């Protein structure tokens, strides 16, 4: 099994030694482009890359616990910067890859008529948010709502705090909630195609993030880790990111 999303499995792996040539920790919401990039890199380099997916909070916890990791690709730059402060990342290897744009995602047809952040606070609107302590989108959504003085009102409508951005998408696609704040790129996934719609958040109300890649101190000893870091940030790599709905950083 090449990737692990379950919190249980991630915790069970703590302290284990991986047999792959390269170990990557990646945000769960990046699974679509990362799996394509992994496959392309493996074919070109005849190497095995093991990617472990989880919320950015989980990945940070794994690093803190000493989990083997050569390359870190979290869902938001904050986690890379925090890892750098802790001495886990080689600063010169940090590359900002693509933008992560928060939007409101609603079921097809937008049955609740959600057209703005303020609508998330309307009585009766069922909302799903990411757990602020788990996926990057959970922390970002909270900050967006606080910025617009809506957090307390919207919190009253929250039906579930999801552990990953992926699960947030499923809640909306299945019509279990009326809206969520999630990353725009997830709307292009097959799980949501034809089942969800995007309501943009105005620029002055939004908080657009960036996704970085970086080699860990451990990985810096491996030429293959540096090569993978360069590959996913190359023009060829960025074309894969764009294919999955991400906008490259300028």
Q: How many residues does the chain have?
A: 250
Mean pLDDT of 188-204: 94
Is 94 contained in some domain? Answer: yes
Give the domain CATH number at 156: 3.40.190.10
Residue-level pLDDT at 14: 40
Residues 237 and 192 in one domain: no
Q: Are residues 190 and 240 in the same domain?
A: no
| Range of the structural domain that residue 58 is part of | 7-99+210-248
For residue 30, being part of any structural domain is answered with: yes
**Phi/psi of residue 81, each to 5°?**
-65, -40
Going by C-alpha positions, the residue among 124, 195, 143, 136 that lies closest to residue 162 is: 136
Residue 16 has pLDDT above 90, yes or no: no
Give domain status of residue 204, yes or no: no
Domains of the chain: total:
2
Query: Residue 215: beta bridge partners?
Result: 71
Count of other CB atoms within 10 angstroms of residue 26: 27
Q: Is the same domain home to 106 and 193?
A: yes
Same domain, 94 and 142: no
Residues 108 and 138 in one domain: yes
Indicate whether 195 belongs to any domain. yes
151 found inside a domain: yes
Are 192 and 214 members of one domain? Answer: no
Using the predicted structure, report yes or no on whether residue 37 has a pLDDT greater than 60.
yes
What pLDDT does residue 18 have?
A: 47
Residues 194 and 242 in one domain: no
pTM for the whole thing?
0.82
- 62, 130: one domain: no
How many angstroms separate the CA atoms of 193 and 196, rounded?
A: 6
109 with 176, same domain: the answer is yes
């Amino acid at each position: 099994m090449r990737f692990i999303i379950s919190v249980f499995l991630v915790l069970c792996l703590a302290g284990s030694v991986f047999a792959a040539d390269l170990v990557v920790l990646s945000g769960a919401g990046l699974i679509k482009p990362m799996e394509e990039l992994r496959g392309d890199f493996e074919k070109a380099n005849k190497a095995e890359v093991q990617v472990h997916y989880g919320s950015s909070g989980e990945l940070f916890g794994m690093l803190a616990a000493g989990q083997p990791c050569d390359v870190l690709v979290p869902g938001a730059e904050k986690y890379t910067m925090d890892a750098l402060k802790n001495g886990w990342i080689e600063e010169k290897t940090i590359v900002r890859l693509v933008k992560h744009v928060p939007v409101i995602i609603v079921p097809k047809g937008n049955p609740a008529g959600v057209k703005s952040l303020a609508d998330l606070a309307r009585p009766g609107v069922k909302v799903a948010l990411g757990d602020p302590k788990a996926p990057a989108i959970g922390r970002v959504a909270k900050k967006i709502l606080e910025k617009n003085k809506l957090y307390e009102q919207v919190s009253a409508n929250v039906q579930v705090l999801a552990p990953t951005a992926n699960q947030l998408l499923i809640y909306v696609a299945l019509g279990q909630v009326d809206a969520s704040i999630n990353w725009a790129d997830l709307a292009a996934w097959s799980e949501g195609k034809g089942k969800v719609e995007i309501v943009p958040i105005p620029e002055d109300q939004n908080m657009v993030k960036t996704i970085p890649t970086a080699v860990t101190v451990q990985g810096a000893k491996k030429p293959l880790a540096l090569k993978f870091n360069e590959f996913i940030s190359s023009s060829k790599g960025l074309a894969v990111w764009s294919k999955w709905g991400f906008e490259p950083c300028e």
